[in-house]
Structure 1
Amino acid sequence: MNRDKREIRQSVLHTLSLLTQTDYQMQSSQMASSLYKEAYWQEAHCIALTISRFPEVDTIPIIHEAWKQGKQVVLPRIKQESKQMDFYLIHHFSQLEETVFGLKEPKPSEATIQTPTDIDLMIVPGVAYTMEGYRIGFGGGYYDRYLPSFHGTTVSLLFQEQLVSSLPIETHDQAISHLLVPGGVLK
């Protein structure tokens, strides 16, 4: 019997909240190191990701590494009224502002909007995942609406606690191409 998405989301987020700061940082670092070894990272010129918040895998070091390697970094800005999001090219953190839900998003006046075809690699956030790459996010559906127009590579970084045996899958759900956990590559 499938549990509904809200129950799964609450259960996984509760389990993640029990991670110690030391485990959280160590495992985030292990996943980032694995990511940098992957061909899809090495070949990507433009990488989309988010500014994470605990208990999501820490993306700040990944952004710094992307800049260090000369890669472009694009971050999303959500449009609540249309439930859509756009990605903006940023060059430094001062181009961000705190917005709805306490998110740090690009200031449109200081960043350049990008199209889905500009992005090579998208690091997709989520709460729970199956081994097949299906996911549930935080409930806004923003990635569900964006991913059909994106044809690059998708990857998610997740703690082992985020893996579930099954999820309620809907027709619009798209599997993530690659999954990385602290121990390495799952998919």
Structure 2
Amino acid sequence: MTSKSDLRAELLMRRRAMSDADRRAASLAIAQHAAATPAFGRARRVAVYLSMSSEPGTGPLIEELFTRGIEVVAPISLPDHTLDWSLVEPGAPTTTAPIGMDEPIGPRLGPGTPSTCDLIVLPALAVAHDGHRLGRGAGFYDRALAGVDVPRCALVFAHEVLPDVPHEDHDLPMQMALTPQGLFRVL
């Protein structure tokens, strides 16, 4: 099996090769599929990361959640490699964290916030058929969501749903992945 670092490098290279137009179209398609997914339709509060430029964009998804009256919270990275959370407000400014991700500006809700959500949307470089997620390797989400019993959904491009990805025992599996082509459910 390919190592985590080799697979990350390959997937990141492939993402960087995508055009902005292709990424934008993928983001819109993901938002449309989310709108048709019961887990999103039933939610009252969803945790969603604010995407970086090479990732499937979360902007259209967040706009869809706002349209439906769903409260959105997003992570804030802390220096000790843990996450706090804050509300995302329509049109509110964001700031860029030292690790490169955008974060909401606002009162912090505390590290226990994910357990108050109905669904958690995570970034991923790949998701395996068994639900294992390959992230960027810092472990922020694995630590933040340990012991949290809320459905987890990764956003990935279709070519990033793979038969298998290297993983460790502490890596949290996903229950689903949204791609521009539709929803992938882990059985």
TM score, norm. by length of structure 2: 0.90
Kindly report which structure 2 residues correspond to 1:1-187, keeping only aligned pairs within 5 A, or say none: 2-81=1-80, 83-107=81-105, 110-114=106-110, 115-187=113-185
The one-letter amino acid paired with 1:20 is: S
**Following TM superposition, where does structure 1 have runs of at least 4 consecutive aligned residues deviating by more than 4 angstroms?**
none
Following superposition, the deviation at residue 6 of structure 1 comes to 0.9
Following superposition, the deviation at residue 54 of structure 1 comes to 2.1
Following superposition, the deviation at residue 186 of structure 1 comes to 1.8
Following superposition, the deviation at residue 43 of structure 1 comes to 0.5
* Larger helix fraction of residues: 1
The one-letter amino acid paired with 2:183 is: V
The one-letter amino acid paired with 2:152 is: T
CA contact (8 A) 1:47 1:74 kept: yes
Following superposition, the deviation at residue 122 of structure 1 comes to 0.6
1:129-185 Cα distance to aligned partner (Å, 9 max, x none): 211111111111001112223211111121122123322221112210111222212
Q: Which runs of 5+ in 2 are unaligned?
A: none
TM score, norm. by length of structure 1: 0.90
Partner of 1:149, secondary structure, is coil
The one-letter amino acid paired with 1:150 is: V
Following superposition, the deviation at residue 66 of structure 1 comes to 1.3
The one-letter amino acid paired with 1:131 is: H
Partner of 2:123, secondary structure, is coil
| The 10-residue stretch of structure 1 (50-59 or 19-28) with the greater mean CA deviation from structure 2 | 19-28
Alpha-carbon distance in 2 for matches of 1:28, 1:92: 18
CA contact (8 A) 2:47 2:114 kept: no
The one-letter amino acid paired with 1:45 is: R
Following superposition, the deviation at residue 119 of structure 1 comes to 1.0
Alpha-carbon distance in 1 for matches of 2:101, 2:43: 25
Q: How many residues align?
A: 183
Alignment CA distance shift 1:25-1:95 (3 Å): closer
Give the alignment's Cα RMSD to 1 decimal. Answer: 1.6
Alpha-carbon distance in 2 for matches of 1:92, 1:37: 22
Alpha-carbon distance in 1 for matches of 2:137, 2:117: 24
